[in-house]
């Protein structure tokens, strides 16, 4: 029971920090990841809050799992439902800094926090995020290389979001090149070890 509770706590903390980190990068106004560019563009077009668009997009991506024969985990569903509201909470408390240096500091802190958050929620072992499953599902279903799938999807998402007025900037490029190496380290480092009867002392 303790092992399961420990994993659940890490999952929820990871998702909270993920949403908070996304809010930090958005407030920095130097560019955000492609999916947030799309969510921001949709927000500007419709007037619906960006956090709610994050939820809507996550659920749409989950629907695309069906033809790819992917099965979402408990953490996958919570990711789709909670990151957006957690992002909205972050936006209530984070303001855009006055200077460019401060904005970059907030942005880079957000990227690092997001990488740690990814390690926490993925390492909890309840399933990957909706977008990760979309890429791995296309790889398994059609045999397309993951890097081609990921690049194609994110470039398409970015271009649509940018056309709708989303914030594409140098930060978007920095994020694209830095997040992979960062999560490559945080996911193994923060993965919860498998449960063992020995852990109970029995």
What pLDDT tens digit does each residue of the chain (202 aa) get? Answer: 667 888 999 999 999 999 999 999 999 999 999 999 999 999 999 999 999 999 999 999 999 888 888 888 899 999 999 999 999 999 999 999 999 999 999 999 999 999 999 899 988 889 878 887 777 777 777 887 767 887 888 889 999 999 999 989 999 999 988 887 888 888 888 888 765 444 444 4
Is 173 within the bounds of a domain?
A: yes
In a domain, 86, yes or no: yes
Between CA 23 and CA 96 the distance in angstroms is 10
Q: Flag whether 200 is in a domain.
A: no
User: Closest by alpha carbon to 108, among 51, 181, 174?
Assistant: 174
Task: State the helix-helix crossing angle for 130-142 and 50-64, rounded to 10 degrees.
Answer: 20
Q: Does the residue 66 lie in any domain?
A: yes
- Residue 161 near residue 94, CB atoms below 8 Å: no
177 assigned to some structural domain? yes
- Does 202 map to a domain? no
- Using the Cα atoms of residue 88, residue 94, residue 99 and residue 100 in order, give the sign of their dihedral: negative
Work out how many domains the chain is built from and give that number: 1
- The domain in which residue 16 lies consists of 2-93+101-192
Q: Is residue 199 part of a domain?
A: no
49 sits in the region (left: phi over 0; alpha: psi -120 to 50; else beta) called beta
């Amino acid at each position: 029971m303790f092992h399961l509770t420990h994993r659940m706590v890490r999952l929820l903390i990871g998702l909270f920090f993920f949403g908070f980190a996304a809010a930090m990068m958005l407030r920095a106004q130097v560019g955000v990841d492609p999916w947030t560019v799309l969510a921001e563009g949709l927000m500007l077009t419709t007037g619906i809050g960006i956090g709610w668009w994050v939820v809507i997009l996550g659920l749409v991506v989950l629907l695309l799992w069906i033809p790819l024969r992917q099965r979402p985990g408990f953490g996958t569903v919570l990711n789709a439902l909670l990151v957006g509201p957690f992002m909205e909470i972050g936006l209530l408390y984070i303001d855009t800094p006055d200077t460019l240096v401060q904005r970059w500091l907030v942005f880079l802190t957000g990227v690092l926090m997001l990488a740690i958050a990814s390690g926490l929620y993925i390492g909890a072992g309840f399933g990957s995020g909706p977008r990760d499953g979309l890429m791995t599902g296309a790889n398994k279903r059609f045999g397309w290389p993951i890097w081609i799938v990921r690049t194609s999807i994110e470039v398409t998402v970015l271009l649509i979001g940018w056309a709708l007025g989303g914030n594409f900037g140098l930060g978007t490029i920095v994020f694209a090149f830095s997040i992979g190496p960062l999560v490559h380290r945080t996911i193994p480092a923060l993965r919860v070890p498998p449960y063992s009867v020995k852990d109970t002392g029995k």
